[in-house]
Amino acid sequence: MKLVFATNNKHKLEEVRNILNNKFEILSLKDINCFGDIPETQDTIEGNASQKANFIYEKYKTNCFADDTGLEIEALNGEPGVYSARYAGENCTFEDNVRKVLSKMENTKKRNARFKTVISLIIEGKEYLFEGTVNGKITENKKGISGFGYDPIFMPEGYKKTFAELTPEEKNKISHRGIATRKLIDFLRNYGN
Ligand code: IMP
């Protein structure tokens, strides 16, 4: 069965393809000649994942899934949330976003935050949502160099290291995206059995 993953992120594609090799052929947006922007205008992470998957489903009439992720910081009333990618403005870098968060939190001791990923799967006309969250704290300074995005300032609960100080394998085991992806994969493995 063919399944479109609404992404062109090679790393995400490889990860899912490797696990689902035999049962599903995972196609990227490029593979279905989808090059335009996909709308992402909702004010929740669930809403955006669902909007992206529904857009592809309606336009290409194909089974598909899409993911959306955000960092929610308690002291900032859930920001950056759906604006995680462009928190410091259009065309900003990961570095700009990290700097903005640290500066907004300069005077607060309340450091609780969580990463949340939602995957929306549409298969044979039905939609299923899979969620992964990881709780942690925003550090006062950047630490570590691996990963991307807000990794250098996010310390997961129970760890004394930021995501950027963990190996990709260590991060994957506990991360929001790792959890949501494993739920999707478990569902697909059992689908139709
Ligand atoms: P996306 O929905 O996966 O594209 O993620 C949106 C934004 O959230 C990214 O541009 C990053 O800034 C941030 N983000 C998502 N996942 C992670 C992560 O695992 N670590 C750090 N930042 C992340």
Nearest residue by C-alpha to atom 16 in ligand 1:
69
Residues with CB under 6 A from ligand 1: 68-71, 84-85, 97, 147-151, 163, 175, 177
- SS3 of residue 57 by DSSP: helix
CA distances from 62 to 4, 32, 99, 123, 191 (A): 7, 10, 40, 8, 16
Mean pLDDT, all residues of the chain: 95
52, containing H or E segment: helix 45-60
Amino acid at 80: P
Ligand 1 site-directed mutation target among 7, 8, 51, 84, most atoms within 8 Å of CB? 84
* Averaged pLDDT for residues 55-65: 96
Is 68 among the catalytic positions? yes
Nearest residue by C-alpha to atom 11 in ligand 1:
149
Tens digit of each residue's pLDDT (9 = 90 or more) over 27-58: 999 999 999 989 999 999 999 999 999 999 99
Residues listed for the chain: 193
- What is the atom index within ligand 1 of the atom nearest the CA of 147? 20
Rounded Cα–Cα distance for residues 102 and 73 (Å): 11
* Averaged pLDDT for residues 102-122: 97
Nearest residue by C-alpha to atom 22 in ligand 1:
149
Return the closest-CA partner of residue 44 out of 98, 126, 105, 117: 117
Return the pLDDT at 35.
Answer: 94
* Averaged pLDDT for residues 134-138: 98
The whole-model pTM stands at 0.95
β-sheet bridge partners, residue 120: 66, 129
CB neighbours of 21 closer than 8 A, spacing ≥ 6? none
Q: Distance from the CA of 84 to the center of ligand 1, in angstroms? A: 7
Rounded Cα–Cα distance for residues 177 and 68 (Å): 9
Decide: 72 and 81 in contact? Cβ < 8 Å.
yes
- Burial label for 98, CB within 10 Å (0-12, 13-18, 19+), is buried
Choose between 152 and 8: higher pLDDT.
Answer: 152
Interaxial angle between packed helices 10-20 and 176-190, expressed in degrees from 0 to 180 and rounded to the nearest 10: 40
Q: Which residues of 32-67 are buried (b: 16+ CB within 10 A; e: fewer)?
A: bebeeebeeeeebbebbbbbbbbbbbeebeebbbbb
Ligand 1 site-directed mutation target among 94, 150, 174, most atoms within 8 Å of CB? 150
130 pLDDT exceeds 90?
A: yes
Tens digit of each residue's pLDDT (9 = 90 or more) over 139-172: 999 999 998 999 999 999 999 999 999 998 899 9
Return the closest-CA partner of residue 57 out of 69, 45, 68, 66: 66
